[in-house]
Structure 1
């Protein structure tokens, strides 16, 4: 959530941010108008309280002089003032609630280093690693390879649950499990704390991390219990310390978790809906940091390198792209997308987004830390996929395929898979 005090002090900062993101300023206009009205009521209440305090002094003086009848008249007047104050304070609270609810729809302010642009076409490539494989045969897409191996079954997935669900068998199912184990082992060796989190969370939890109320249509809900299936492990990880005060010497805290993710993927279309690229249910290893404002953008660079390291160990070519203001996620102040090379697209495809959300989630969840000199500040939260399991599996299938339809297992996964090659099921 944006800082409403800062909005009051420097509204142009937020208007400029909204314009860079190509958002309408309508909600911001309403908040500024409500804030003006709220401040008016605050002044009225303060003046009435000051008047009541003066009356209290007069009452005390009159009683000291034995003028009880006169004192009682002043007390009655003071009571009327109290009733008036209560009415204005109720209005104050109503306006505060309106501003808070509107502020939930206002995105984070982009960092000054984020390139300004309208959409993904204006994202900026930062670096590349590895070279796309040059095949001496015509490579197949994973949506053909998997069924031919007898290990990906899109029809049975649809029979069980509808479109964009998949059943995996045999070595492909095992490969997905191996990837999760490999990623978790790698990240925990690099200082991350592994966490097993709930897959159903409360409304307050998913609001704190920015998915509600703006993205309600993307979420799967359990209406009877008012619980939500997580769209990413970022939600429970970035909400672990709601209403807590951490100590500065604890930071940064680095968490990782492997969970299924559930998304409606409303509005997705075209080639992305084929195969495993855009499913309603998929698995992911997530990385979340709690850190300080002074170092959060430096930490974002490290978190991104941690995600990149997985692709390097797997020998998968990729590139890193800095998202422009028009393509930036709602909660993010800065984001790097990591895109892996997929032969079926003849292009790089997103496999991880690594973001610094600054204090945006911390304000929603009241997550703070105590500095060494005793002051309380909001933490900064970072998040990134480390990595999306399904898309990593796709990248291995397509980049490591052989002319006979088998798939070579990357060397780092062989201890988990206990095999060098994935062959058709018998």
Structure 2
């Protein structure tokens, strides 16, 4: 199956500027150079960046040459897309620090073979104002620019000239890569279609015979209608210091049955047959969550490596299916980095009093009822004895107590030093 057919099966294509011409270009057997851009607005990528990167990676695995433009230039002025207000400008020092962090992450995802990272600051910073206005600005029609969705949505609240020119700078990027690196294809999200086609039009005005293309990716929406990647806890980062590997693994493992096959198609490199088999498992044995487990394993391996993915899977298995006392203090801290936590006294206390004092139960009556019904677990042990004494020093080097109420309601209690 060719790359475009595979992308279509994986529901990874929304629009292509000239499908037949691109198909013919790919059919020549000669590798195509393609790119997408990312602005260094933070010191880590998040899972939203995986959406275009997975398309780049598939082209790379098919023998083509992906480029990523780290927007040291565009990132210093701000992209108007997806927001109703102006972006807060960063210092150049912060932009450079972010560029270094993102470059390291992208190199881990793509390796160094048949892959190139460039920085548009290298060419945009050399433009003079007069050169920009005469040689570039003259080729852009303001009416056309205003009609671009990415700008039109901001007209009511206002948009600065700085952010208004972003689409011109992105077009210069495409021209530069086409002219100097023979890049012919730019990819981006569905909301970037206006910017991508602006780049094609700009190149055609400078070189009418140029064979250049744009491909956009569908907006990733969950079955409940909410945007993919948004959680109550904030962004899911690729940096393990910002989102632990366990949290990352759990994000994928907790996906809805209605979404998991779509995500397996898009975010993994499993074959069509493997995904079809997992789809059958979802339909016949959804309680086993085989598809979710494979999704979590594959994406975590891609981002963090096989060893880290295996460690996250082991923590998950122990936490939800095994003996939690097998967890090390480090594993416990990783698992509960952003989950409910309380601070407790280091004194041994009756279980009923302990639960109420630490606000894990609203009253002694409710505490006794939950204990009697077997709903309370302390360090993996079900407690049904109302006279049980909670000893903070019994497990986890005397640093923590792990409380479970019901099936999955965990709280980590840190013992005061």
Is the pair's TM-score, using the shorter chain for normalization, greater than 0.5?
no
Structure showing greater Rg: 1
Structure with the higher helix share, 1 or 2:
2
TM-score range, shorter chain: under 0.3
The two structures have a TM-score, normalised by structure 2, of 0.23
Higher relative contact order (CA 8 A, sep 6+): 1
The two structures have a TM-score, normalised by structure 1, of 0.22
